[in-house]
Amino acid sequence: MSRAERLLTLVQALRRRRRPVAGAELAAELGVSLRTLYRDIQALIGQGAPIDGEAGVGYVLRPGFMLPPLMFTEDEIEALVFGARLAATRADERLASSAENALAKIAAVLPPDLADRMDATGLIVAPAWNANRDGVDLSLVRAAIRNETRLEFSYVNEKGLASRRVVWPIAVAFFERVRVLTAWCELRADYRHFRVDRMSDAVDLGVRYPRRRRVLLKEWRELEGAAPAWREVADAADTVPVPRRKSA
């Protein structure tokens, strides 16, 4: 790789770590000698990178540093464009518009040749097939997830049974035809999955739920079979609970 690419890779390697990392570890990750790594560290510091540390102790990059102009590999450019186009066909209108705006901002600061490649990428995302319309404004659901606030809505399961729920929303899965909300349901006192097209009359109660979303999400992910249950519920009801570990 070129020196410019190596410096960018080094910045990314430092950004991924919150604690000091040894020079030898960074050198091994980049595939360079320790002497080259030390020279690269000094070069970045000379360009204004807020790197703390020293040889034999370790290095850490203080938050907030960007290395202009933005540089991406061809694969990274295709990933950005693909993700934005996927959002345009799978996400709600506001999120789709935000994805397009983000791409425009990135293109504005890229070197001309890389900006041209964004327009010329050959990856195309087909429209969602036979997609079901959302029963509620998904941007409201996403806001409740970000703010960690209780969400109340009416829900009709696949048997036609209606209920009013208050949940602690933690994530939304985007499938080809439906979106599925994962949440802690106060009615069931457990994790449940809700198809968004079966929800209606949603209200963000504006009241934070008692546990942090990150903790809830980690707990949900650790449940045995939780991820498969998330996918299967796209064609099922919230009456299917998240599988639990069997006791010894």
- What's 197's DSSP letter? G
Last residue of a domain, one of 11, 28, 61: 61
Cα separation, 121 vs 93, in Å, equals: 23
Domain range for 79: 74-120
Residue 36: CATH number of its domain: 1.10.10.10
Cα separation, 138 vs 248, in Å, equals: 41
Cα separation, 17 vs 11, in Å, equals: 10
Q: Do 151 and 190 share a structural domain? A: yes
Q: Do 92 and 57 share a structural domain? A: no
Instruction: Decide if 208 contacts 145 (C-beta within 8 A).
Output: no
Q: Do 229 and 144 share a structural domain? A: yes
Q: Do 78 and 45 share a structural domain? A: no
Judged on CB neighbours under 10 Å (0-12, 13-18, 19+), 200 is middle
Cα separation, 176 vs 90, in Å, equals: 7
Which runs of consecutive H residues, i.e. helices, occur in 50-127?
A: 74-90, 93-109, 112-120
| Phi, psi values for residue 23, rounded to 5° | -60, -35
Residue 156, in any domain of the structure: yes
Strand, helix or coil for residue 134: coil
Residue pLDDT tens, the chain, 248 long:
667 778 878 888 888 887 889 989 999 999 999 999 899 998 888 877 888 887 778 898 887 665 555 567 778 878 888 888 888 777 777 887 888 887 777 777 676 767 777 777 777 777 665 566 778 888 899 999 999 999 999 999 888 899 999 999 999 988 877 888 999 999 999 999 999 999 999 999 999 999 999 999 989 888 755 555 555 655 554 444 555 543 33
Q: Do 83 and 150 share a structural domain? A: no
The count of domains in the chain is: 3
